[in-house]
Every structure is written in C-alpha cells, then in structure tokens.
Structure 1
Amino acid sequence: MSDAAMPTGQTFHDLYRDHRGWLECWLRRRMSNGSDAADLSQDTFVRLLASSQRIADLQEPRAYLATVGKRLLTNFYKRRSLEQAYLTALTLLPEDCVPSPEQRWILLETLQALDELLDGLPSPVRRAFLWSQLEGLGYQEIAERLQVSERTIKRYMAQAYEHCLLVEL
C-alpha cells in the first residue's frame, strides 16, 4: 500500500488531517497565491463532504483529491478570466454609465452563473445562444457570424435550450 492510500475505515477527519497539507502544497505549486490555494484546498474537502463518495471506500485519496482540486482550479481560472473580461469592459463605458459596486457584484455573479449554466456546450453553440439572448441577433445574423447555415443555428439553439432545461432539473 502506498503512503497515499487510505486504510480501511478512515474517517473524514483522518483524511483531512493526513492530506490537507499535501493538497494545499499541490495547489500552491499551480497557483500564484497561497491564500487562493488554501481556499481551494478547503473547497475540495467541502466538495468531498457534500458528495455521495464514501470516504472509507477511497483507495487512493490523493488521486481523488487531486482530481477534485484540478476541477476547482479550472473553475477558479475561468472565473478569474471572466471577471477580468468584465472589468475590462467596464473601463470602456462612459463614466456616467458605470454601475455601482453593488450592481457590479450582481452582474458578475450573474455572468458566472450563466457561464456555469452553459458549461459543457461546444463553443459555437454557446456563442450562438449568447448572441441570440444577449444581443438579440436573429438566426440569419448568427449564421453569418459563425459562417454556418441558418439550419445549423436552429440546431445549436435547440441544443442550448435543451442543455439549460436539463441543467435546471
């Protein structure tokens, strides 16, 4: 048994005690900020607690924790990229149109929720859906932008609507 394997019957407390430091170091090597690594480490263990995964059944806890950590790290960087794009767009607004800090927070949270909702859709489907819903473009205009047929856009939109409905269930 490797030293990363967990003995049978180990509890969440044991798992946390034995592997939290390792996971935080593992994340710190992939991030530029130790505080963010600590936060993601905690989030990883919170996810484990909330999951249906039985802790006693984990054969290789570090591999499992690393997988969950990688997913959270990916989401972290996607969120940061989205936030940076939003802040950049705000700098382009006339001063009298800049939203208040509270409005910015709400808008950023909404953008992140929308990004999570559409996660997993192919890029052209996401673009078509967002152009339709946020910019009000018609199918023909979207088809021209994506250089595909209008029939393809109809399929994309059906796929996006179906995805949204299934995620919401």
Structure 2
Amino acid sequence: MLHRRIRNRSDAQDLTSETFLQVVDSSLDPRSFQEPRAFLTTVAKRILFHFQRRQALERQYLESMAALPMPCVPSVEDQALVIEAIAEIDRILHGLPLPVRTAFVYSQLDDMPHEEIAARLQVSVRTVSRYLTQALQHCMQAQLR
C-alpha cells in the first residue's frame, strides 16, 4: 500500500518500519486485535499522513530559502535543523484551530504583542489571550504525552 502511494521504495520501507515500530511500542497486545489488517492499515495511514505533511512543510521551507539572496541562505546543516524544529512545532500544535496556532506563532516566533496579533487576526486582545492560553495548555499536554 505505501509503495503505491509514495512511489519511492526507500521512503516506503522507512514508513513500513515505522509502522512496525509503532505497533511493537504500543501497549496493545497484537493478539487481541479482531481485525489486525485494519489496525495496521490505520497505523500506516496515520504515519503516511504525517510523512506527507512533513514533506509539504519541508518543501515550503526550501522554497522560501530559494527566494533569499545567496549570502542569506543558511547552511545545509542549519536548514536541516530548522526543518526538524518546524516539524516538531507542527507536531505539537497539530489539532489546534488555525487562529489559535497563528496567534501562538505570532507571539512566540515573531514576538508580536497581543495588540498587533489582535489587529492581524481581527479579534479582540482578550480573544488573543484566550488563544495563547489554549495553545500553551495544548503544548504542555503534548509534552506530557
């Protein structure tokens, strides 16, 4: 299934290995599955979704780097570190509504004050405070998982 969707044998093998590792690392007993094939398919689809999302993030980042003048482009190593950080931030913020994620990114990465975030999102400063509280709580819960 993965090889047909990805069209890259090595990525398909990596994702198959990741699927296997997630099943082995889970606290579930594989012998208790009534539909083991359906369970594996669900796990594999989830892993494929995250893989494709990460590829899209990486592609967007690399496109933005290509638009920079040559002296401003970070080294390949720095780019890899940034891509890892972006993927981790995306993983942690996944599941939050878009306005909440946007407010959090503006606040934490762009260091915008609440008033400017409110103006950009066209919401009240109080709503921005609620968004940031929600995002911070979400991040703390993600760290506990």
Q: When the two structures are superposed, what TM-score results if normalisation uses the length of structure 2?
A: 0.93
Q: CA-to-partner distance for each residue in 1:58-105, whole Å, 9 max, x for gaps?
A: 111110001101110110011001000110111122211111111111
Structure 1 segment 76-87 matched on structure 2, within 5 A? 76-87=51-62
Residue 18 (structure 2) aligned to one of 43, 46, 54: 43
Name the counterpart of 1:107. Answer: 82
Name the counterpart of 1:123. Answer: 98
Name the counterpart of 1:22. Answer: none
Distance in 2 between residues matched to 1:100 and 1:38, nearest whole Å: 29
Q: Which moved more, 1:63-72 or 1:92-101?
A: 92-101
Structure 1 segment 148-159 matched on structure 2, within 5 A? 148-159=123-134
Deviation, 1:121, is: 1.0
Q: Which moved more, 1:71-80 or 1:89-98?
A: 89-98
Task: Find out whether 1:145 has 2:138 as its counterpart.
Answer: no
Name the counterpart of 2:32. Answer: 57
Q: Counterpart of 2:135 in structure 1: which amino acid? A: A
Distance in 2 between residues matched to 1:165 and 1:129, nearest whole Å: 13
Q: How many residues are aligned here?
A: 144
Q: Which runs of 5+ in 2 are unaligned?
A: none
Distance in 2 between residues matched to 1:72 and 1:44, nearest whole Å: 7
Q: Counterpart of 1:84 in structure 2: which amino acid? A: R
Distance in 2 between residues matched to 1:156 and 1:104, nearest whole Å: 30
Q: When the two structures are superposed, what TM-score results if normalisation uses the length of structure 1?
A: 0.81
Q: Which moved more, 1:132-141 or 1:33-42?
A: 33-42
Q: Which moved more, 1:145-154 or 1:73-82?
A: 145-154
Distance in 2 between residues matched to 1:123 and 1:71, nearest whole Å: 20
Name the counterpart of 1:93. Answer: 68
Distance in 1 between residues matched to 2:111 and 2:69, nearest whole Å: 23
Distance in 2 between residues matched to 1:132 and 1:154, nearest whole Å: 10
Name the counterpart of 2:136. Answer: 161
Q: Counterpart of 1:148 in structure 2: which amino acid? A: V
C-alpha RMSD of the superposition: 1.2
